[in-house]
Amino acid sequence: MSPQPQSAVGAPLSRVDGRLKVTGKALYAAEHDIEGALHAVIVDASVGRGRITSVDTRAAEQHAGVLRVIHHGNAPKLPYRDNAGSNNPEGRRLRVFQDDRVLFHGQPVAVVVATSLEAAQHGASLVKVRYAASTPSTDLADAERDEPTRYARGDAEAGLREAPVRLDLTYRMVRNHHNPMEPHATIARWDGGKLTVWDKTQWVVGTQTELAAVFGLPLESVRVISPFVGGGFGSGLRCWPHTSVAALAARELKRPVKLVMTRRQLYFGTGFRPAYEYRLRLGSDRRGRLRAAVHEMSAETSSYEKFDESIMGAGQMFYSTPNVSQAYHKVPLDVNTPLWMRGPGFTNASFAIESAMDELAVELGVDPIELRLRNEPPEDESNGLPWSTRRLRECYTVGAREFGWDRRDPRPRSTRDGDWLIGIGMAAGVYDPGRFPAQARVRLDADGTAVAEAATSDMGPGTYTSQTQVAADALGLSMRNVTFRLGDSRYPPTPPHGASMTMTVVGSAVLDACDKVREQAVKLAVEDEESPLYGVPAAEVIVRNGRLHPRGNPARGESYQRLLARNKLTHLAADGAYAGAPQPARHSYFSYGAVFTEVGVDARLGLVRVRRMLGVYDVGRVISPKLADSQALGGMVGGIGQALLEHTVTDHRDGRIVNASLADYLVPVNADIPDLRAIYLEGEDPDADPLGVKGIGEIVQVGVAPAIANAVHHATGRRIRELPLTAEALL
């Protein structure tokens, strides 16, 4: 086949769903108007550990409009079959209302169903639950650790002993919550034995498998619909208990039920980025070439599931190091189970590793970029594979040039602007994007328009738009003649909308389906005696604006409409697939970035302000530059939040989250965000996938926090090894 001209791909287009969003016509989970829907409000545990001794529902049930209160004392037993299909970590998942145990503060213990939201809310406040409570264990620093997962190559302890330069550094990162704009919500409706849910989820297929498992249904009896997701950052990668609560309530009441989590409930009803302690010992020669690295990590998980983030990967491949050992401990606590949050694993690993590299640079008096260049590995030392593309050197060169790195006086505390100490810092980033199998289907209609479908979500990256761009170019249609549909488990299955893989895997499946449809049309034309293309070699035909013609000869050709009409075809259609990462792997495949930032630190108040930031990214081909920028700037904002503001605070006396609201959990606002800029290295990753993309969504948060911490050190001479970096720590 002749390669198609690319006019939509690579163009800085606005969102195809932008108008729907700004006019309120893009419906989020709770906004679907399902006839006869009742309202449900969850009652959550007010103790951090223990047993429920009684549930008094009388006052609630007497309240006008309240129809039912469901709790462990009256709930039916549910099958809760095992399910590997919804990102459920190893362990025994929370089974709502199946027993009297309280495993964490905020666990759902009852649900009130009423004819109005107000009645359900008031009814929930009237439910009296009594507990036999004990003190929960919620402090990472003061709990038993599990046996670690280990990794080793060479002899790291010996390498450390022999290294002339040694650092022993411990970094701490607090718990963070995703806090998407749209709260998690579910509407559940039963039609006989079939369940339909409108749900906020990053994975309709995963939620479908989980609901089928919880209720013991065949997969095809569950349909999950989620056309718009108002932000996720990872919080929707799993089907959480409230979704089952909504479905259970709907089944019991024999009416559709809508359940919207409150802001507060999001802090224990969905996941979070676990807190970490990360001790890193580095040994290098006098030129800063690493000889050994020993990583010891501890992270929160729940008492009932072993959540495992990819915290170990970066330390195994990022810098050339002959001797490496790692021990990663999970620490079971009386909390709900964590889940991936933006740039999962790599974001926190990079805070430790990239801060430590900056400390090593200072120790040796070597420029931080030069130190990193001296440690660039020629191949992936964890598996011996060549890199697919690893263009970090270019990230450094371009970033240094565009940011004015060479004007930086390397001495800490060397630059002032009034009361402000000014510092410039940088950090590198790496992320391991997912590449799981995905499917799509495409139908080209006789009127010259096309519809492509896949089950994936769009939580904000612009999937509707970027997939339409891929389909439009592959079919040779204009953007407005292509519609992309997503967010329904009836569409061809796709993996989770996360791990930076949607563009890669869904895009490759869409491309495959569109290529097949175009091939069908071309074959039809060149074999059709009545076509002006009769006899032209198929490999020479391209399609542009819905018109098939030989490459370089637009005068000879015909439109899809004419071709299909003459052949009495209503449509052409094809299924497409992406098979997943090549097995066995031939290349080591990661996305990369380098973050540069300038901060001001108020010398008297300790206040840190980011003044400017630049990210330079090696992410392969960029399909949709305007949306890529939206991702990159959003990732930087997330990183600024993690670096300076975000901190979930737990009261260890009873396991309560103290700041479970957006008024008290600080996230950046516009006034916190300065001049941000993103640059993407041109080119594609030919080994990545048929589209040549590596994905943007996660890498853009990696490296932001250490770049800021390194800039703060440059500004003040103070090394803060804890996130967030607070004024208190700097005074």
Instruction: State the residues that interact with ligand MOS by CB under 6 A.
Output: 202, 232-234, 237, 340-342, 344, 498-499, 698
Long-range CB pairs of 74-82, under 8 A, 24+ apart, other chains included: 75/248, 76/248, 76/252, 78/214, 78/215, 78/216, 78/244, 78/248, 79/213, 79/214, 79/215, 79/216, 80/213, 80/214, 81/212, 81/213, 81/214, 81/216, 82/213
Work out how close the CB of 300 gets to ligand MOS at its nearest, in angstroms, rounded to a whole number: 16
Work out how close the CB of 462 gets to ligand MOS at its nearest, in angstroms, rounded to a whole number: 14
The most distant pair of C-alpha atoms in the chain lies apart, rounded to whole Å, by 84
Work out how close the CB of 236 gets to ligand MOS at its nearest, in angstroms, rounded to a whole number: 7
Nearer to ligand MOS, 345 or 550 (CB): 345
Q: Which residues have a catalytic role annotated?
A: 698
Stated length of the chain: 731
Q: What is the DSSP string of 508-571?
A: HHHHHHHHHHHHHHHHHHHT-TTSTTTTS-GGGEEEETTEEEETT-TTS-EEHHHHHHHTT-SE
Nearer to ligand MOS, 347 or 415 (CB): 347
Work out how close the CB of 487 gets to ligand MOS at its nearest, in angstroms, rounded to a whole number: 15
Work out how close the CB of 459 gets to ligand MOS at its nearest, in angstroms, rounded to a whole number: 7
Q: Pseudo-torsion of CA 402, 406, 412, 414, nearest 10°?
A: -100
Nearer to ligand MOS, 131 or 233 (CB): 233
Nearer to ligand MOS, 272 or 396 (CB): 272
Which amino acid belongs to residue 110?
A
d(CA 176, CA 196): 32
Burial class (CB in 10 A: 0-12, 13-18, 19+), 34: middle
Tell me the HSE value of 704 on the side-chain side, using a 13 A CA sphere: 31
d(CA 589, CA 428): 16
Task: At 424, list the tokens.
Answer: 């410039």
d(CA 252, CA 246): 10
Nearer to ligand MOS, 312 or 525 (CB): 312
d(CA 392, CA 592): 6
Query: Which residues face 431 on adjacent strands?
Result: 591
Secondary structure letter of residue 268 according to DSSP:
H
Work out how close the CB of 347 gets to ligand MOS at its nearest, in angstroms, rounded to a whole number: 9
Work out how close the CB of 202 gets to ligand MOS at its nearest, in angstroms, rounded to a whole number: 6
Work out how close the CB of 264 gets to ligand MOS at its nearest, in angstroms, rounded to a whole number: 22
Nearer to ligand MOS, 294 or 688 (CB): 688
Which amino acid belongs to residue 332?
P
Nearer to ligand MOS, 340 or 592 (CB): 340
Nearer to ligand MOS, 232 or 550 (CB): 232
d(CA 542, CA 572): 17
Name the residue number minimizing CB distance to ligand MOS: 498
d(CA 414, CA 265): 46
Start-to-end CA span in the chain (Å): 65
Sign for the pseudo-dihedral over CA of 718, 724, 729, 731? positive
d(CA 270, CA 268): 6
Task: At 204, list the tokens.
Answer: 């309709």
Nearer to ligand MOS, 67 or 349 (CB): 349
Nearest residue to 695 (alpha-carbon basis) of 555, 506, 529 = 506
Please answer whether residues 295 and 326 qualify as being in contact, where contact means their C-beta atoms are separated by less than 8 angstroms: yes
d(CA 314, CA 319): 9
Task: At 212, list the tokens.
Answer: 């089928």
Work out how close the CB of 273 gets to ligand MOS at its nearest, in angstroms, rounded to a whole number: 9
Nearer to ligand MOS, 234 or 557 (CB): 234
Burial class (CB in 10 A: 0-12, 13-18, 19+), 308: middle
Question: Would you tell me how many other CB atoms lie within 10 Å of the CB of residue 453?
Answer: 22
